[in-house]
Amino acid sequence: MSWPDEPVLVRAPATSANLGPGFDSLGLALSLHDEVEVAVTDGGLSIEVDGEGAETADRGDRHLIVRVLRRTFDVLDGLAAAGPGHAPARPEGIRLRCRNRIPHGRGLGSSSAAIVAGILAARALHPSGDLLDDEAALGLATEIEGHPDNVAPCLAGGLTIAWTTPAGPRLVRLEPQVTRVVAYVPEQRLATERARGLLPETVPHGDAAANAGRAALLIAALTGDLGEAVLMDATEDRLHQGYRAAAMPRSAELVAGLRAAGVPAVISGAGPTVLAFTTASQVDSMVPEVGNGWHEHPLDVASRGARVVAGGAQVRR
């Protein structure tokens, strides 16, 4: 078997994880996409980046997607070597082209989109790509990312619940009834590692119990017909947003202001983007000052996750 002559194009959605009480477990896929094109060449490494993160084109072998591609190729080589009828295959060169629309370092899953796109591209290109099923792809993406709450909705679309077991990460995909949100993206970035470092080792038992109930209510509110009013209670959080507020005071203030105006709002991912479960026109009428220094992105919940849209023999989505 040989490498395909044509490049593979993968389209991966932005995601919003944590979702108020759903820390490290709940995630939404959003209608803002990165496109990643990968081709196998006769030699060398070529990287082109358009849009967000254009400066990463100079990272060469350190570029996240390049590292993911090679990691996935290695995994597939190992799977091929262990099975009959398959043989390891190493590409001579790689050409990578990225068209990035997902803001970097803002809590909208840009790294998860890059990781998932790299895995799907490698799977579609590799002669033994069929050996890596969707469950294994989730496991590999989680291993690279560190936790599954962003990679799960990026892979599956819609609303996802992700958790880990001794056998690896798992996900359940749900169809949300709430289909429109607004993301308020600030200029400044915030590293996920910094935001996570602000979390305490332990929390009060009452806060943990409250979040468990709110997370269950949020799933019911997003997937049922309970009405938008329930979302205010369902998006209440005591586990992570308050502890991280010092690193993103403007985001914390915006969340408080939106909620005071009756808009269910949360920090998206590790922040500093704010996600509001409403429409842009409703927010503008209730909280007109929200536009100062914020980029407003009215978005739909993306029903489809990342997928190969052109090229490759291993198209699964």
Binding positions for ATP: 103-113
Closest CA to 274 of 288, 287, 264, 289: 264
DSSP conformational letter for 60: G
Cα 221 to Cα 235: distance, rounded to the nearest angstrom = 10
Residue with tokens 């979040």: 211
Indicate the annotated binding residues. 103-113
Q: Angle at CA 21, nearest 5°, toward 17 and 26?
A: 35
Closest CA to 108 of 197, 202, 210, 182: 182
CB atoms within 10 A of CB 104: 15
DSSP string for 179-204: -EEEEEEESS---HHHHHHTS-S---
Alpha helices in 110-248 (DSSP H): 110-125, 134-145, 151-156, 192-197, 205-223, 229-234, 241-244
Residue with tokens 């509001």: 276
SS3 263: coil
CB atoms within 10 A of CB 88: 15
Residue 53, token pair as written in the block: 């993160």
Peptide bond preceding 272 in cis form (omega within 30 of 0): yes
CB atoms within 10 A of CB 286: 15
